[in-house]
Structure 1
Amino acid sequence: MCELYVKADPILYESRSRSLRICGVVTTLRLENQFWDILSEIAEVDGMTTNQLIAKLYEEVMDYRGEVVNFASFLRVSCTRYLSQRRVASPELSVVKRSVK
């Protein structure tokens, strides 16, 4: 079983920083490449860019919680929750709330 993990391509767990604008403020996030890939997949499913998705998640967690102690950790947990739910959910899985029209 451990082979599945130890033989993972090291590029997947290499960190990469990315600058983006959240609520009008430029900030930098540092995540492992695997998480950037998952966020990109989620954004594609939701019809937005990765930066738009991250900004939307930030807005939603701020609305719900009022603060974010460690946003990078929040994003990692969001990715793992997405993957866990994707295994059993329909292809219409979305992480962000959809507006009712």
Structure 2
Amino acid sequence: MCRLFVGADPALWRNRTRSIRLSGVSTSIRLEDFYWTTLEEIARRDGLSLGQLVSRLYDELASEGEIENFASFLRVCCGRYLALQLAGEVPSNRAVPIRSLDAERILARENAARALVSERESA
């Protein structure tokens, strides 16, 4: 099992630091290349640059409250994007923009599934 992961291209986990402007402030974010590539794919789907996508994510997250670890948030965004593709919630056709998806419907389905699992576990 581990060979599948250990044998992958080491470039996937190479760290890269990028300078990005967030809310008018220049900052650096360090992520593995795998995540930068995934974020670039997400950005392209909506016709955004990587900087524009990261800035929008930052601004929306900041509007929800304090940001503790933005790099971790970006990694989770990538994981959710890939998991939602596997679940069929995000079309694998990269021509379909993320902004065209019904986020509230997807989140409601996720919440319902979580509630069902929680209900089964407590029974």
Give the TM-score of the pair, scaled to structure 1. Answer: 0.87
1:4 CA displacement: 1.5
Q: Which residue of 2 aligns with 1:74?
A: 73
Q: Which residue of 1 aligns with 2:105?
A: none
Q: Which residue of 2 aligns with 1:4?
A: 4
Higher relative contact order, chain-length normalized (CA < 8 Å, sep 6+) = 1
1:37 matches 2:41 = no
State the percentage of identical aligned residues: 46
**4+ long deviations beyond 4 Å:** none
Q: Which runs of 5+ in 1 are unaligned?
A: none
Query: Counterparts of 1:1-101 in structure 2 under 5 Å?
Result: 1-64=1-64, 66-87=65-86, 88-89=88-89, 90=91, 91=93, 92=96, 94=98
Give the TM-score of the pair, scaled to structure 2. Answer: 0.73
Give the Cα–Cα distance (whole angstroms) in 1 for the partners of residues 53 and 18 of structure 2.
Answer: 14
SS at match of 1:69: coil
Bigger proportion of residues as helix: 2
| TM-superposition CA deviations, 1:11-51 (whole Å, max 9, x none) | 11010000010110000000000000000000001110001
1:93 CA displacement: 5.8
CA RMSD of aligned residues (A): 2.0
Q: Which runs of 5+ in 2 are unaligned?
A: 103-123
Are the counterparts in 2 of residues 86 and 93 from structure 1 also a CA contact under 8 Å?
no
Give the Cα–Cα distance (whole angstroms) in 1 for the partners of residues 43 and 54 of structure 2.
Answer: 9
1:86 CA displacement: 1.1
Which amino acid is the alignment partner of residue 33 of structure 1?
D
Larger Rg: 2
